Amino acid sequence: EKGGFDHFMLKEIHEQPDAIVDTYRGRLLPDQDIIKMGSVDNNITKFLNSKRIVIVACGTSWHAGLVGEYLFEDLARIPVEVEYASEFRYRNPVINKDDIVIAISQSGETADTLAAIKLARSKGAFVFGICNVVGSSIARETDSGAYTHAGPEIGVASTKAFTTQITVLSLIALKLGHLKGEISISDYHNYIQEMSIIPSKVEELLKIDKEVEKIAAIYKDAPNCLYLGRGYNFPVALEGALKLKEISYIHAEGYPAAEMKHGPIALIDESMPVVVIATKKGHYEKVVSNIQEIKSRKGKIIAIVTKGDTQVKAIADHVIEIPDTLEPFTPLLTTIPLQLLSYYIAVMRGCNVDQPRNLAKSVTVE
């Protein structure tokens, strides 16, 4: 049932190329330069007239929502707020009639997300769901929605659910950006073509797992770890840190790289591994100077770079290369080595990777 893999988590990490194809099948039509999504098409006036999108979710799905914020603002020029479902529901949130609420949930059963949806609907919002489990409570409670079609995710640590949620968000953002005239025809074409080859780039990236395993062996006993990223990859830093803490029980924090100097830099010494996402796109030079700040305080740098990088390579202790892609799609690639890193560290520490202590696959309590 684990298809030859030692754990469901590793199997699900490796399923991502297929899962992403399953997510965009029938929706992304690269030969015609079309993005077809029934649930968006049927509600297109609501989407095009929306003044704001509010995304509600928990955990990893909340991180996907943060990537969604960059996607919608960058590609479709729609302001976005991303809310922890648990906070949103206990405030007295301001919902205006032209707001769209997007709820993201793998299981479709998360109690706080479900309650947030009910609250938003009671205030008259149009609620769109992005769920993996077909027929789940959240899928039923929303006005409309799109499934991720990632297939069952058994490992408690969410992996393919995350990348497929980002895939759905990318498709919607591109479609709206195109219809609103915010993306040029040629950029739209390029995004569609690039999206269609993302699965093969993920596939290529999965081949580096032995390299990641070696890095894992060096840092498996670290008590703490920092993850840094900027722009589209800031949420990936948060997700990388969450993956490490939940399955290996190593304390980890994700930060926007530029926030380092406002506090966390005090933690840096020779025993602190710092994972930095430093792809060529997205404020590269700024990230390079953040890396220099860490190096001069003797921190250990594990950098995720674009293939062919030389500048970061010269200063980092370890580099993991990812294939080049368009900036909005970098999270789909940079996430992969971080999933593998936490997986191998957890295995080496003898942790129960698929069923970490104190965690459940769907959190149906509030």
d(CA 265, CA 251) in angstroms, rounded, equals 16
Q: Which residues contact 246 (CB under 8 A, 6 or more apart)?
A: 156, 157, 356, 359
Helix (H, G, I), strand (E, B) or coil at 60: helix
Closest listed residue to residue 300, CA positions, set 236, 228, 243: 228
Q: What is the DSSP letter of 299?
A: P
Nearer to ligand F6R, 210 or 357 (CB): 357
Minimum distance, C-beta of residue 76 to ligand F6R, in the bound complex (Å)? 23
Residues that bind ligand F6R (CB under 6 A): 58-61, 105-107, 110, 113, 156-158, 242, 246, 362-363
Q: Is 365 helix (H, G, I), strand (E, B) or coil?
A: coil
Active-site annotation holder among 123, 280, 286, 361: 361
Give the shortest CB-361-to-ligand F6R separation in angstroms.
7
Closest approach of ligand F6R to the CB of residue 158, in Å: 4
36 noted as active-site residue: no
Which residues touch 45 (CB under 8 Å, ≥6 apart)? none
Which residue of this chain has its Cβ atom nearest to ligand F6R in the complex? 59
First to last CA, the chain: 32
Closest approach of Cβ 164 to ligand F6R, in Å? 11
Surface-to-core class of residue 280, CB atoms within 10 Å of its CB (0-12 exposed, 13-18 middle, 19+ buried): middle
Nearer residue to ligand F6R within complex by CB, 314 or 365:
365
Task: Give the residue with the Cβ less far from ligand F6R, 110 or 170.
Answer: 110
Nearest approach in angstroms of CB 166 to ligand F6R is 13
Q: Which is nearer to ligand F6R, 177 or 254 (CB)?
A: 254
CA separation for the pair 318, 300 (Å, rounded): 8
Q: Please, which residue, 63 or 230, has the CB nearer to ligand F6R?
A: 63
Q: Could you give the residue numbers annotated as active site?
A: 361
